[in-house]
DNA sequence: CGGGGAATTGAGAATCGTCAAGCCAGGTGG
DNA sequence: CCACCTGGCTTGACGATTCTCAATTCCCCG
């Protein structure tokens, strides 16, 4: 029984071919197309999930119709756990084609952790890593200026990519997704990216792939 | 061996006289005055803490001199855990006089969890609760307008207070702390509070104690 | 009674959101 | 193969919200 490699926010993540949490069919494989819903905002939390390949967004709808993206899920990420059995007001949707997940029964996980302290420790550490990530996210959202948020987001995405691909970082999500993640308007995202591009801080291969040209300048922008 | 009652973000929290995580001197008691540092941004994470009485802020300093408050810690909250042994770039400072904490050795906790699955489960659930809280926090920070953030913050504070004192909610932190928590200027916080006050949505007993007069109006403001 | 930080209020400047138009790439159908 | 269409992305102009700077008031505490 083995979890995919533990990874923190600023450390390189598990590569796209992530090892599933279970090797003995405890979990069931599922595949999703772009835009498909993994679970809805009102569903009960009877399962845990681990994303193996592709990408997904964890989002919530507000009563005034806006959308908030709470987290982007990348290969290796374990999610769906929450306190009690109440839903966390979030739905999860795939954002790339051929996104694959493993789904685990919550009850089964519970009893397994009860009997296997080592497994329990791994889950705990993934939860702690998740806390680390959300704390970084909070700090990112705390930036008052749009350019700082976008810069911090790009650094985050670069660090979540595989180390060997830092020279070619992919953005699986649309500009709209980035906007809802950073809580700024799409146009502002676009303008900030343009500013960074013309300032020789980053370079784009296409709209969804970029490279950091001047890392220190980028870090100076996001102020941390 | 017992953790203080598990509490989620929107559920009422443990009352001010919280039971410590340990009854048999595994942890050591500490008391802090207003403004005192519990641990610094660069300290190693060799300890876990539980706040018993008072309040504290968990904050980080950015390179441009601004301050971000990642979380307010209230009685019952367990904190200090993080992935690996790396610091989380946050310091913790008391914000009221006579803030008391229990401190636990990380190693001791680890081995205890290894041998006691029940204890491990309690810690895990507190971590999940922490994730829930940070998710709510992310949603709060995602609000674009200042009035929405302040309204959401007041609802959060009211829900973190004891249920029987909802008619008299305390704000242990200063306006500056609220500003750094919501990532808006102090003046904007003040203006938003004034707007809510003159709109008969809330009423102040003094600057640090208020009451919700029109809850539905307050919830309408924060859009969720 | 006075000092000093906290809190509030005001006015002007900067940033961002909104609305609108145009561009670009990929896919579809003739 | 090309026209067309659609959705994502970019750019521009204007208005709204918020930040910054400044002054004043409030309140705690010596």
Q: What pLDDT, in 10s, does the model give residues B38-77? A: 998 877 778 899 999 999 999 998 877 789 999 999 988 8
What pLDDT does A207 receive?
Answer: 95
A175 CB inside 7 Å of strand D? yes
What pLDDT does A40 receive?
Answer: 87
- Give the nucleotide with minimal C1' distance to the Cα of B204: C7
Interface of A with B in 18-47 (CB under 8 A): none
What pLDDT does B215 receive?
Answer: 94
What pLDDT does A20 receive?
Answer: 60
CB B34 within 8 A of CB B174: no
What pLDDT, in 10s, does the model give residues B168-220? 999 999 999 999 999 999 999 999 999 999 999 999 999 999 999 999 999 98
What pLDDT does B6 receive?
Answer: 32
What pLDDT does B129 receive?
Answer: 83
B64: nearest CA in chain A?
A223
Nearest partner of A77 among A20, A152, A157, A30, judged by Cα = A20
* Other Cβ atoms closer than 10 A to B17: 10
Q: Which residues of chain A have pLDDT under 50?
A: 2, 4-17, 23-24, 85
Task: Please tell me the distance from the alpha carbon of residue B13 to that of residue B89, in angstroms, as a whole number.
Answer: 26
Q: Do A124 and B125 touch (CB under 8 A)?
A: no
What pLDDT does A224 receive?
Answer: 59
Task: Please tell me the distance from the alpha carbon of residue B184 to that of residue B195, in angstroms, as a whole number.
Answer: 16
> CB of B216 within 8 Å of any CB in chain A?
no
Q: Do B83 and A6 touch (CB under 8 A)?
A: yes
What pLDDT, in 10s, does the model give residues A132-178? 888 889 999 999 999 999 999 999 999 988 777 778 999 999 999 99
Nearest partner of B10 among A202, A82, A153, A142, judged by Cα = A82
Phi, psi of B126, deg, nearest 5 = -65, -35
Measure A126 CA to nearest chain B CA, in Å. 8
Mutate to test the interface with B, among A62, A83, A89 (most CBs of B within 10 A): A83
What pLDDT does B102 receive?
Answer: 92
Of B63, B82, B129, nearest to A128 by CB-CB distance is: B82
């Amino acid at each position: 029984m083995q979890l995919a490699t533990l990874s923190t926010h600023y450390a390189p993540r598990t590569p796209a071919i992530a090892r599933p949490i279970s090797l003995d069919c405890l979990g069931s494989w599922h595949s999703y197309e772009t835009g498909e819903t993994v679970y809805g905002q009102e569903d009960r939390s009877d399962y845990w999930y681990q994303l193996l390949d592709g990408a997904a967004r964890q989002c919530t709808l507000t009563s005034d119709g806006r959308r908030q993206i709470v987290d982007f899920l990348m290969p290796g990420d374990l999610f769906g756990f929450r306190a009690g059995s109440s839903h966390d007001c979030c739905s999860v949707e795939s954002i790339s084609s051929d996104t694959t997940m493993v789904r685990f029964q919550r009850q089964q996980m519970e009893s397994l952790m009860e009997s296997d302290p080592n497994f329990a420790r791994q889950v705990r550490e993934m939860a702690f890593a998740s806390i680390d990530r959300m704390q970084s996210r909070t700090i990112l959202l705390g930036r008052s200026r749009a350019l700082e948020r976008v810069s911090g987001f790009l650094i985050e995405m670069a660090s979540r990519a595989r180390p060997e691909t830092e020279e070619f970082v992919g953005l699986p999500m649309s500009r709209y997704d980035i906007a809802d993640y950073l809580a700024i308007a799409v146009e502002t995202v676009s303008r900030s990216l343009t500013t960074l591009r013309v300032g020789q801080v980053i370079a784009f291969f296409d709209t969804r792939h970029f490279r950091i040209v001047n890392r220190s300048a980028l870090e100076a922008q996001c102020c941390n």
